[in-house]
Structure 1
Amino acid sequence: MKYSYILFLFISLPIYCQNTIQLEEGLKSPKASLEDVSWIAGHWQGEAFGGITEEIWSPPLGNSMMFVFKLLVNGKVQFYEIGHIQEQEETLLLQLKHFSGNLKGWETKDETIDFKLVKIEENKVYFEGFTMEKVTTNEINIYVLIEHEDGTKKEEKFNYKKL
C-alpha cells in the first residue's frame, strides 16, 4: 500500500507541473539576452483566481524588461506585482515584489522573489517555477508554481490576450 502511494505521487506529480521546471542542482543558467524574450512585451489581460488579471510588459531597454501585474476581484484590487527580467552575467533573471491593494509590500524592503533562467525555446521561456509561452502574437500563457500556506505547491495557468 505504501509503495503504491509513492508510485502514485511520482506518476501524478508531472501531471500537475507539466510546464514549470527547476534548474538542476549544480547547473548554471544558459546564456540568453532580452531579445530572446522580447515577444513578452505588451499589455495583456486574462482571468484567474476568480477575477481579472492584467500584466503590462515593457520592451527591452537598459538591460531590463519591467512589468506590473494586477488582480481585480469584484472590482477591487487584491494585489499587485512589480518586477523585471534583467540581463545579468550573460543570462536572464526574473525578479518581482508583491504589494497589497493599498501598496503595502509583502516582502521585506530589500527582498525579491527571484526566478533563475532554466532554458529558452522558440516560443517558451522557462524560469525556475515560472514559464511564459507565446501561443500567438496576441495570446500568451504564464505558468507559475505557487506554494500555498499549507506547504503544498500547485501550478497555476494564466491565459492572456493582448489588449
Structure 2
Amino acid sequence: MASVALHEKQAPIKDGYKWIPSNAVFTLSSSGTLELTSITCKIGTMKQISQAKQKIVGLHQKTGDDDPEIFGELCLENMLLKALVACAGSTLKAVAMTLDIPIAEFEDGKELAEDKIEKLGKLTERYCVVIQAITKNPDLSVSLRGGGASRSLK
C-alpha cells in the first residue's frame, strides 16, 4: 500500500523533473554555534524535532513527502545535515583546544595563520565521525529476519 502511494505521489514529480531537470536540484543547509565552555556545537533545531516524542523519519519533500502517514514526519536529509554540523563543530572545537587555538579569537575577527586554519580543517575532517561515515563509504549490512529465515545483504 505504501509503495503504491509512493508511486502515485512521485510519478507527477518525476515527470516534472524530466521536463525541467533544475527543479530536482535543491540545497540543504544547516549551521551550528560552538560553545565556549564545552566541547559541543549547538545546532538550530527543526520545529518537528523539538516537538518530537516518537516521530517517523521519511523522505525529503521533493520526493512527494507531504503526507506524514505515508512518508514520515521528519526529513532524513535534514537530520543527517544536522548531525554533520554538530559533529564537525564539536570536533573542530576539540581539535582547536588540542592545538591551543582559542575559538574566541575567531569571534573577535582576529587573523589566524593560514597554516593553522588548514591544519584545523584537515584534523576536523579526519576526526569527525560523521564526515568519515559519509566520505569513506562505510560497510552497510541489512539483516532480514522472520519466518524462521535470516538473510544478510552486504
Larger RCO (alpha carbons 8 Å, 6+ apart): 1
Q: TM-score, normalised on structure 2?
A: 0.26
Q: Which has the larger radius of gyration?
A: 2
Q: TM-score, normalised on structure 1?
A: 0.25
The structure with the largest helix share of the pair is: 2
The structure with the largest strand share of the pair is: 1
